[in-house]
Amino acid sequence: MAAETAQALSSGGADQRPRHVAIIMDGNGRWATERGWPRLVGHRRGAERVKQIVQACPDLGVNWLTVYAFSTENWKRSTEEVLGLMRIFRRYIEREAESLSAEGVRLRFIGGRDRLDAKLQQLMSSIEARTAGNSLLNLTVAINYGGRDELARAAGRLAQKVARGEVGAVGEDDLAACLDTAGHPDPDLVIRTSGETRTSNFLPWQAAYSEYEFTPTLWPDFTPDHMAAILDRFGLRERRFGGV
């Protein structure tokens, strides 16, 4: 661990580390464009950064990490970029399957899978099964994910349960149990890189009481030391959840 990371961990607020951190990984294309490179170069560098952050999480006290990889709106991008991103996803899963399993990482995916190609869906299911027994870090990747889409699909599942008589008076817990993230703790902290200050349809239900941090750092430049500093600031926040 770098000296700066160690220093951040030892400073004030370390007793209030977030258990679950969610990240909107923004700025890959801009990072590449600023250097005169194709946008996909930035996406590849961003995938490498995911690996570094995943490896740093246990030392940072993070047990759950959810990353926003591809939204339901990202299909609007050029065909070349979308196909390139799907290739990057496949390569990441293929290359990291062994190391993630060995390092005790459990990998899961949220989002609609029906629009993804069959090969990618098969790889996703395979690594989920392979890492199901791991618990050092719970890594969730949101791919073809949109919060409104998730809520609509969850409402459909809940309606079917009501129709079958499995649910009576519908409450919050009933809907939460139908979300893609059923069984996951809500994120304590949501980080968005690249300087944008919007949530972009990411975990609207789950992040209702999350703390937010918006950083100007582009995702390919976001290091474990950046994350450690944000976690340290999180420890100084007072979270009242509507109370006094």
Which residues carry a binding-site annotation for substrate? 27-31, 39, 43, 71-73, 75, 77, 192, 198-200
Burial of residue 191, with CB atoms counted within 10 A of its CB: 0-12 exposed, 13-18 middle, 19 or more buried:
buried
Look up 63 and say whether it is catalytic.
no
Dist CA 123 CA 91 (whole Å) = 10
Q: What does DSSP say about strands 20-24 and 189-192: parallel, antiparallel, or unpaired?
A: parallel
Selected catalytic residue, list 15, 59, 63, 74: 74
CB-CB contact of 131 with 106 (8 Å): yes
How many residues are given for the chain?
Answer: 244
φ, ψ of residue 29 in degrees (nearest 5): -65, -40
Dist CA 221 CA 189 (whole Å) = 20
Residues annotated in a binding site = 26-31, 39, 43, 71-73, 75, 77, 192, 198-200, 211
Look up 74 and say whether it is catalytic.
yes
Residues annotated in a binding site for Mg(2+) = 26, 211
Q: Look at the block and give the residue holding tokens 């994350």.
A: 227
- Token pair of 4, please? 């700066």
Give residue 79's Cα distance to chain centre: 24
**24, amino acid identity:** I
Bridge partners of residue 22, in order along the sequence: 66, 190
Tell which residue, 144, 154, 77, 145, has the closest CA to residue 117. 144
Dist CA 6 CA 66 (whole Å) = 23
Selected catalytic residue, list 26, 180, 188, 232: 26
User: Which amino acids are annotated catalytic?
Assistant: 26, 74
